[in-house]
Every structure is written in structure tokens, then in C-alpha cells.
């Protein structure tokens, strides 16, 4: 079968490999039907994040189950349409049961599809994907839905939800600031979900006009720089900028007992203003998201809350065009098999 691999920044290629097979009763094989490009992929492709030559790439997957192990067959059917989460998680270990599916104890830390991580789980832009824990991972979705319109729910909306959802539950009607940039879709989705979940004020800051326009379409107030924002004090702050100064600005924009989440932390840490953070009582979350744990609330925001992940795309290409689609300047792209 064919799968998409990373060669170097700005260049991808196809690799022919032996198709995966089932090796245990809890496993599944899924044939990807539509595959999205995550903000993270664009960071690999621009060279901002390192990836080794030859690593499979892509981790946003909606597909059709083609084979099931004996136990997995008690929960799913061949032919069923599912989301395959980007992260590998078993669903039953201590961490998974606590909702910390991004820190599953059954797999190497960081285990994922298509990110060059330990465990050799392959990539998501492929003719077949091996799912090691079908019951813990697979998320059934409506067969009759427009699956391209749901693409953002596979991965980036789960990352965005964790930065605003639990925080707005704890502080209903709170105010939200998103510092956008390096992870544009995740930041825009955080603003969109904040509005869906009842934030009283949602501000999105980004120097990119394209990104600001997308956030504005969801109803966010947008600004080019934090200095333009009136009353820059917020209950909930999302750092999606991937920039040291932006993280510092995000800390300064935190109000008392605010919750700040870095969804795209800078590679170089700022000189943290610890006393400011201490007196504000700032709660700072610096963590890989819990992708599988976020699927329930992200899907609920879509099905019950009116969150429209497709307001920003994706722009859809054919599977064969993936090597060029992944380099397309559109905010969000996908390929369809």
C-alpha cells in the first residue's frame, strides 16, 4: 500500500509498504476516507518543528473499518465510519480512565500517527491504518453526515476544547483571549468553541489577516497586536502563537485566578514573571492534549451547540494530490480517497 512520508521541509513523497494486518483481538484496520492536515503538519513542513526524513506524516483520519479483531467486533462493525484519533491510547489504563488519554501508560509517551514518535504506528495519509486499541480509540460518527465538514473534529477541535471547555464550565460566561499564530486552526477553533460555550467576550489576536478573518467569521473580536485590545484582562487565555513574547503577553493578559493553556508553546521559554503569576493565582497548563478524551465534548459542541468546524474549510484535494495539498497555503486542507 501507499503512504505519505516527510522528506524535508517543503517536500513530501509516497512510500510503498506492506499493508498492516491484525495481530490481536482488540485491534482494527481502517481505510481512511478523508484525511486532514493538522496545524502541526504545517510546522513540520515549514521546518519550525523537526521531523526525520522518511517518517510517515498525517494524523487526522475519518475512515471505514475494514477488519476487526475478535473483541473489537463486539463493539464495532466492518463498514462502519469512524474517527481514528491522532494519539494512540488504550482506554483502560490508569491515565486513560482519568481522561489523560494523551498520557496513556500502555504506549510510549507521545505515541501518535504521523508525528515521528516512538512506537512505529504509521501515518494517517495512507491506504490503510492499523488501530491497536479499537475499543479505546475509535469514535463512531453518523454515516449520513457530510464527513469533510466534520474533519476539524478529528483532532484540532479536541485540542481547542481542552483550552476553553473545562475552564468555561468552571467559570460560566468567562472572558476568553486567544493569542493566535503558529497553530492557527487550533486557536481559531478555541475562539469558536468559547463563543459556542457561552463566553461573554472572545478576543482573537493574530498578525495574520487571513487568520483574523476566520476568527471573525465565528464572531470573535479580532486585533493585530495585544496592545490594541481594550481592557486586556481575561479569565481564560489560550496561547496558540508559538512565540516567546506572545506567551509573556498572554501571561500579562491573565486576570485574577485566570487559566492559561499553551496549545502551541514556544520552543524558547520566556523569563517567567513568577511573582506576577503567583499573586494573580494563575493556573498554567502546559501539556499535550488528551485527544480521545476530547472527542465527546467536541462532537457535542458540533451536534448540539452549533459549532461549525467547516466554516474555515477544509479545502479538499484527491488522495493522489496529497504531496502538493499538504503544502497548499489554505488555512486547512484535506484529501479524500
- Distance (Å, rounded) from C-alpha 29 to C-alpha 101? 21
By beta-carbon proximity to Zn ion, the closer residue of 40 and 160 is: 40
By beta-carbon proximity to Zn ion, the closer residue of 68 and 90 is: 90
By beta-carbon proximity to Zn ion, the closer residue of 155 and 235 is: 155
Beta carbon of residue 38, minimum distance to Zn ion (angstroms, whole number):
3
Which region among 24-32, 33-41, 160-168, 204-212 touches Zn ion (by CB under 5 A)?
Answer: 33-41
Instruction: Pick out residues in 132-161 that bind Zn ion (CB under 5 A).
Output: 155
Strand residue runs (E) in the chain: 2-8, 11-16, 28-36, 60-68, 81-84, 129-131, 139-140, 175-179, 201-205, 221-223, 234-239, 254-262, 283-286, 315-318, 333-336
Residue pair 139/299 in contact by the 8 Å Cβ criterion: yes
96 binds Zn ion (CB under 5 A): yes
Beta carbon of residue 59, minimum distance to Zn ion (angstroms, whole number):
5
193 binds Zn ion (CB under 5 A): no
By beta-carbon proximity to Zn ion, the closer residue of 160 and 229 is: 160
325 binds Zn ion (CB under 5 A): no
93 binds Zn ion (CB under 5 A): yes
Beta carbon of residue 288, minimum distance to Zn ion (angstroms, whole number):
10
CA angle in degrees (0–180, nearest 5) for 134-45-214: 80
249 binds Zn ion (CB under 5 A): no
Nearest Cα neighbor of 255 from 214, 181, 220, 203 is 203
By beta-carbon proximity to Zn ion, the closer residue of 40 and 249 is: 40
Which region among 39-47, 146-154, 175-183, 272-280 touches Zn ion (by CB under 5 A)?
Answer: 39-47
What region, left, alpha or beta, does residue 71 occupy, with left being phi > 0 and alpha being psi -120 to 50 degrees? alpha
38 binds Zn ion (CB under 5 A): yes
Beta carbon of residue 90, minimum distance to Zn ion (angstroms, whole number):
3
260: helix, strand or coil: strand
Helices (H), 197-328: 209-217, 244-252, 274-280, 291-303, 322-325
- Distance (Å, rounded) from C-alpha 44 to C-alpha 138? 26
Beta carbon of residue 107, minimum distance to Zn ion (angstroms, whole number):
7
Nearest Cα neighbor of 122 from 20, 14, 43, 262 is 20
26 binds Zn ion (CB under 5 A): no
Instruction: Pick out residues in 97-136 that bind Zn ion (CB under 5 A).
Output: 104, 106
319: helix, strand or coil: helix
Residues forming contacts to Zn ion in the complex (CB under 5 A) are 38, 40, 89-90, 93, 96, 104, 106, 155
Amino acid at each position: 500500500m501507499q503512504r505519505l512520508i516527510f522528506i524535508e521541509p517543503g517536500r513530501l513523497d509516497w512510500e510503498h509498504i506492506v499493508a498492516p494486518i491484525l495481530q490481536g483481538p482488540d485491534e482494527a484496520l481502517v481505510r481512511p476516507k478523508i484525511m486532514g492536515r493538522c496545524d502541526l503538519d504545517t510546522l513540520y513542513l515549514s521546518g519550525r518543528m523537526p521531523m526525520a526524513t522518511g517518517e510517515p506524516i498525517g494524523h487526522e483520519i475519518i475512515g471505514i473499518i475494514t477488519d476487526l479483531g475478535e473483541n473489537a467486533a463486539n463493539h464495532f462493525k466492518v463498514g462502519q465510519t469512524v474517527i481514528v484519533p491522532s494519539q494512540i491510547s488504550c482506554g483502560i489504563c490508569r491515565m486513560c480512565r482519568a481522561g489523560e488519554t494523551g498520557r496513556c501508560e500502555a504506549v510510549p509517551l507521545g505515541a501518535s500517527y504521523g508525528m515521528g514518535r516512538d512506537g512505529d504506528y504509521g501515518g494517517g495519509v495512507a491506504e490503510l491504518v492499523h488501530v491497536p486499541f479499537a475499543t479505546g480509540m475509535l469514535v463512531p460518527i453518523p454515516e449520513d453526515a457530510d464527513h469533510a465538514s466534520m474533519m476539524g473534529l478529528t483532532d484540532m477541535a479536541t485540542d481547542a476544547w481542552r483550552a476553553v471547555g473545562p475552564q468555561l464550565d468552571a467559570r460560566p460566561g468567562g472572558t476568553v483571549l486567544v493569542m493566535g499564530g503558529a497553530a492557527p486552526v487550533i486557536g481559531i477553533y478555541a475562539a469558536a468553541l468559547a463563543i459556542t460555550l457561552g463566553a461573554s467576550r472572545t478576543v482573537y489576536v493574530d498578525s495574520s489577516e487571513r487568520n483574523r478573518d476566520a476568527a471573525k467569521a465565528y464572531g470573535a473580536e479580532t486585533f493585530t497586536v495585544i496592545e490594541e485590545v481594550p481592557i486586556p484582562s481575561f479569565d481564560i487565555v489560550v496561547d496558540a502563537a508559538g512565540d516567546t513574547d506572545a506567551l509573556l503577553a498572554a501571561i500579562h493578559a491573565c486576570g485574577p485566578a485566570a487559566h492559561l493553556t499553551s496549545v502551541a508553546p514556544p520552543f524558547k521559554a520566556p523569563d517567567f514573571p513568577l511573582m506576577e503569576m503567583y499573586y494573580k493565582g494563575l493556573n498554567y497548563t502546559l501539556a499535550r492534549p488528551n485527544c480521545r478524551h476530547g472527542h465527546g465534548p467536541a462532537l457535542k459542541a458540533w451536534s448540539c451547540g452549533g459549532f461549525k468546524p467547516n466554516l474555515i474549510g477544509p479545502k479538499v484535494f484527491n488522495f493522489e494530490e496529497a504531496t502538493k495539498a499538504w503544502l497548499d497555503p489554505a488555512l486547512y486542507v484535506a484529501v479524500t480517497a
